Amino acid sequence: MSPAEFVSPLQSQETDVLIVGAGPVGLFAVFELGLLGLKARLIDTLDRPGGQCAELYPEKPIYDIPGLPSVSGQELTDRLMEQAAPFEPEFRFNQRVEGLSKRADGRFQIVTDAGEVHVAPVVFIAAGAGSFTPRKPKVAGLEPYEGKSLFYAVRKRSDFEGRDLVIVGGGDSALDWTLDLLPSVKSLTLVHRRDKFRAAPHSVAAMEQAVADGRMKFVMGELDSLAGENGALSAVTIRNKAEVTTIEADRLLTFFGLNIELGPIADWALDLEDGKQITVDTEKFQTSTPGIFAIGDINHYPGKLKLILSGFHEGALAAQEAFRIARPDEKLRFQYTTSSSELQKRLKVA
Amino acid sequence: MAEFTVTKRDGTRETLEGVDGWRLMELLRDYKTGIEGICGGQLDCASCHIYVDPDWVDRLPAPRDDEEAKLDELPTWEENSRLSCQIIWGEELDGLAVTVAPD
């Protein structure tokens, strides 16, 4: 056994199926796997279940879920969580899957960016359009500064105490952190491409008052360049048409919202369509690697429709094959929830 | 027959036929020009970002507040940025030229 493969029992966390993505399709897969007696663990970069439904359109009604003439993204998530609850799924939020490898015992091992190691005989990739990651400024040479003097989120307030801070953005995150950090920084300059803000009006009013009082500055324009050495920022330049302004700063926070990208899954040696969709068969929704399945918006096959209902169907069929892999010595019995006392026991209704 | 020209991320240009009533995002997605349109046109994802030929900027209906707000999130924003899901195709757009914005 190679050192990379050795995992102590404490670190190694085993389950039947690892599901990458806790959106609607991943959640319904928990249900279909659960009916077959399989346990699932879901890993998601977001801090809660629901995927795009919860992150992009929690309040917007969806009209094409069978049996639910109108349901909001959040309500659909809540109902799927309720439906999956009898099967006690485990969730690992705020974690991004990084590496996937096959072990000598035939099972798969997934390592997350939080350093957790998960082991299972079957993997379902239900990652939608990919993982949500902060959009970065389109400025050359950002890397040396990242995590040292350039941040895309506030993890520790102490990173900014007593600093000359520049915040870029015009939404709630930018305005909320401007007002929150203002009392503890040495100086603060807010930068936005226009003088209109989409943030809550009371935050905008409080920011404008702070500018009027001389407690902070507002500069209209776009981030143009960073200056500094070895990741230690000393100044940023802001461009507004032909005009360029230099601001001395040793901390920079940018809030450009979230981008959706495939991320490390692209490096898992699975066959892809257009470099973005994972190719699967339409019998089992299995990828080019047996034991790894792709369901929902992330997969591709002839005739594919990116609809939530398609993902539900795909999960149900993939679960059948997952059972054959995870329980090679058992026979798969097809049963209905209306008549099977075994299924009703698993559903905790009998 | 109304057509538009698109410059793709690889720099190649194509002239394509419009379909009345379609969102420009839908046309760009259907013709596989590199536009994704993840959210389907509800101003949630900004994955249909394009640059409009300067000659055309003022000939298009101006962006609404909610489009401007979403454009705020784009680090690749330029004066001629638009979200193509908010542009509805019609004969009057014949000759429109756009460029697919970087990822």
Q: Which of A138, A170, A274 is opposite residue B75, by nearest beta carbon?
A: A138
The whole-angstrom distance between A78's CA and the closest CA on chain B is 20
Per-residue pLDDT of chain A (350 residues; tens, 9 = 90+): 444 444 444 455 789 999 999 999 999 999 999 999 999 999 999 999 999 998 888 888 999 999 999 999 999 999 999 999 999 999 999 999 999 999 999 999 999 999 999 999 999 999 999 988 889 998 999 999 999 999 998 988 999 999 999 999 998 899 999 999 999 999 999 999 999 998 889 999 999 999 999 999 999 999 999 999 999 999 999 999 889 999 999 999 999 988 888 889 999 999 999 888 999 999 999 999 999 999 999 999 999 999 999 999 999 999 999 999 999 999 999 999 999 999 999 999 98
pTM of structure: 0.83
Q: Which of B65, B72, B75 is opposite residue A171, by nearest beta carbon?
A: B72
* pLDDT attached to residue B103: 80
Contacts of A193 in chain B (CB under 8 A): 72, 77
Q: Which of B42, B65, B73 is opposite residue A135, by nearest beta carbon?
A: B73
B43 in contact with A, Cβ within 8 Å: no
Contacts of A275 in chain B (CB under 8 A): none
Indicate which of B30, B73, B74 best probes the interface with A, i.e. most A CBs within 10 Å of its own CB: B73
- Count of A–B CB contacts within 8 Å? 48
The whole-angstrom distance between A136's CA and the closest CA on chain B is 7
What separation in angstroms does the CA of B93 have from each of A83, B14, B35, B78?
48, 16, 19, 21
Give the ipTM: 0.79
* pLDDT attached to residue A14: 83
Q: What percent of chain B lies above the pLDDT cut of 90? A: 89
Burial bucket for residue A249 (CB in 10 Å: 0-12, 13-18, 19+) = buried
The whole-angstrom distance between A169's CA and the closest CA on chain B is 7
| Nearest C-alpha neighbor of A320 from the set A295, A298, A349, A303 | A295
DSSP codes, B41-97 = SSSSS-TTEEEE-TTTGGGSPPPPHHHHHHHTT-TT--TTEEEGGG-B--GGGTTEE
* pLDDT attached to residue A12: 56
User: Interface of chain A against chain B, CB under 8 Å?
Assistant: 52, 56-57, 60, 129, 135-138, 169-171, 192-194, 196, 198, 222-223, 254, 256-257, 260, 274
Contact state of B72 with A192 under an 8 Å Cβ cutoff = yes
- The encoded tokens of residue B94 equal 């014949």
Residue range B53-99, pLDDT digits in tens:
999 999 999 999 999 999 999 999 999 999 999 999 999 999 999 99
